[in-house]
Amino acid sequence: MGVDVAVTNLTKSFGKQLIWKGVTLTLPAGEVSVMLGPSGTGKSVFLKALIGLIKPDEGSIVIEGTDIASCSEKELYEIRKLFGVLFQDGAMFGSMNLYDNVAFPLREHTRKGESEIRDIVMEKMDLVGLLGAEMKLPGEISGGMRKRAGLARALVLDPEILLIDEPDSGLDPVRTSFINQLFIDLNAQIDATFLIVTHDIHSVRIVPDNIGLLYHKHLAMYGPREMLLSSDTPVVRQFLNAQTVGPIGMSEEKDADQLAAEKDMDLPPIPPIPLQLEPSNGIPRRSQREPGAWCRENGVIPPKGSFTKEAEHSSGSQQH
Ligand SMILES: Nc1ncnc2c1ncn2[C@@H]1O[C@H](COP(=O)(O)OP(=O)(O)OP(=O)(O)O)[C@@H](O)[C@H]1O
Ligand SMILES: [Mg+2]
């Protein structure tokens, strides 16, 4: 289970506004990848391109031999069955209760009877901690509950590819930890290929196998977690450690004077790389690698204290 998603040279503009150019990456089958980037850099647009809701201007997105960017509507309809998607705003039907919202993909894409549908819906509602709220309308629940209901809906078709846009926005820290654990447990269980968009740098440090950063209309870096978590490339280091010093400013990029003024500032050291979150169900991660293997193979000395239990609690957020 789980399939590769191979993106090559993807470019998208809306009118004269270039969103990103030349994005090339492969989401490896069954691995968990995270996409980061300042607000407005086109992360949500990227997810929508992956399921064919937005057509790129150039490039290809190949899944099991089909290019989503150029295939027919019929092929797209078939390939969409592989996906579970949680949109940033939850995208629930406002006039349907949660039960009907979650049941919707099953009624639309399968021939299952109502009693089987009921079992699946209740199982997923339980998984996201929403049992008892089935009859509520999306407008009657909190933002975090809507997110979790959207997640339940994304899971009902047992997807091969899960695209999840900011699962943690509007969630309290405890529920964020539960959701992170749920992703890792699910990934171990169903082996789906995950792409998660998040701004939560603590999650970024422990959840994914791979990390990407969209910045300044291109993919600044994408690769195994150890590559980015040990990187001293200014924009990667700034973003992953939530620092004000670096090329990213409050609005767009900093100007030359601002950057020159920062030139002699000492940056805090790169925090230790924590161990990855392990599945709670005892099944290993599909892509389990020995901690530090990437660093060793690439001659990179990991930050001091990496891959220890203590490093798990370093959030990476250091104010400067
Ligand atoms: N359908 C559309 N038509 C025109 N412009 C769009 C459309 N969808 C998105 N955009 C523009 O594309 C840019 C990127 O938007 P996107 O929502 O992908 O950003 P993001 O990285 O997800 O930001 P955030 O972190 O705030 O969610 C924005 O400038 C947005 O206005
Ligand atoms: Mg977004």
Question: In the prediction, which pLDDT does 234 show?
Answer: 87
Does residue 280 contact residue 185 with C-beta atoms inside 8 Å?
yes
Question: In the prediction, which pLDDT does 7 show?
Answer: 98
- List residues bridging with 33 in a β-sheet: 195, 210
For residue 257, what are the CA distances in angstroms to 238, 251, 263?
Answer: 18, 15, 10
CA nearest 110: which of 168, 318, 119?
Answer: 119
* CA dist., res. 276 & res. 290, Å (int): 10
The strands making up 161-165's β-sheet, listed across from edge to edge, are: 83-86, 161-165, 193-197, 32-36, 210-215, 218-224
**Structure tokens given for 310:** 């203590």
Give per-residue pLDDT as tens, 114-151. 999 999 999 999 988 899 999 999 999 888 888 889 99
Task: Tell me the pTM.
Answer: 0.90
Torsion of CA 55, 59, 60, 61, to 10 degrees: -70
Mean pLDDT of 8-31: 96
Ligand nearest to the backbone CA of 37: 1
Bigger pLDDT: 94 or 243?
A: 94
Contact 212 CB / ligand 1 (< 6 Å): no
Instruction: Please give all residues whose CB falls under 5 A of ion ligand 2, grouped by chain where several chains appear.
Output: 43-44, 88
Fold assignment, 5-82+159-262: Rossmann fold (3.40.50)
Domain ranges of the chain: 5-82+159-262
Can you tell me which atom of ligand 1 is nearest the CA of 47? 18
Contact 77 CB / ligand 1 (< 6 Å): no
What is the whole-number distance in angstroms between the Cα of residue 144 and the centre of ligand 1? 22
- List residues bridging with 18 in a β-sheet: 13
Q: What's the maximum distance between 2 C-alpha atoms anywhere in the chain?
A: 67
For residue 37, what are the CA distances in angstroms to 34, 238, 286?
Answer: 10, 11, 26
CA nearest 161: which of 88, 83, 87?
Answer: 83
pLDDT at 314 over 70: no
Q: Ligand 1: which of 10, 17, 21, 44 to mutate, judged by most atoms within 8 Å of the beta carbon?
A: 44
